[in-house]
Amino acid sequence: MMPKVAGLSLLQDRVFHVLVVTANTYQKEAPSELCKSFTVQLPIDHVSFGDVKIVQETSRMKMRGSSQCYHFPSSAESGSTPDANQKQRQGKKLTEGTYVSLERLIGADSANNDRHRWDMVGPVFQALVDVC
C-alpha cells in the first residue's frame, strides 16, 4: 500500500514489469564461492505478453477499460485465497512504473578482507534508457 498524506491516498499502488537477467562467476579455487554477480533489470511491455498464458495466469494486473487494476484470481483460478492485504487492493487502480537497474556484487576475498561489495546504478541508468 502506498503511504497516506494527511489521511489521503495521493499515490496509487505501482506495478513494475521487468526482465531480470543475472550472470554469476565463481572462484576457481572454491567453485561454491561467488566471485562476481551482475544483475540487469530491464522494463518490458506487459501488454505484448497478452497471448502468453502463463504470464496472464500469474499476473495480478488486469485491464478494466483503459485502467490497470489489481486483480487477485479467485480461489478456483489460482488454488489459493487472498490475504487481508490482497483483499484491500482488489480492484484498485495501479500505476505502471518503469524501472531499470544494473547491479554488481563482488564476493569477499577472505585472504584480503571479509566484506562483499555491492554497487547499483539505477536512476541515472534509467535516464539514459529513457533518452535512447
For the segment 75-89, the average pLDDT, to the nearest whole number, is 73
Chain position carrying cell 526482465: 19
Q: How far is CA 15 from the centre of its chain?
A: 8
Is the confidence at residue 46, as pLDDT, over 60?
Answer: yes
What are the tens digits of pLDDT across the range 103-118?
988 877 666 666 778 8
Is the confidence at residue 130, as pLDDT, over 60?
Answer: no
Is the confidence at residue 22, as pLDDT, over 90?
Answer: yes
pTM given for the model: 0.60
User: Distance between CA 33 and CA 114 in Å, rounded?
Assistant: 13
User: Distance between CA 12 and CA 1 in Å, rounded?
Assistant: 8
Query: Are 51 and 59 contacting, i.e. CB atoms less than 8 angstroms apart?
Result: no
Predicted confidence at residue 23, as pLDDT, reads: 93
Query: Are 101 and 42 contacting, i.e. CB atoms less than 8 angstroms apart?
Result: no
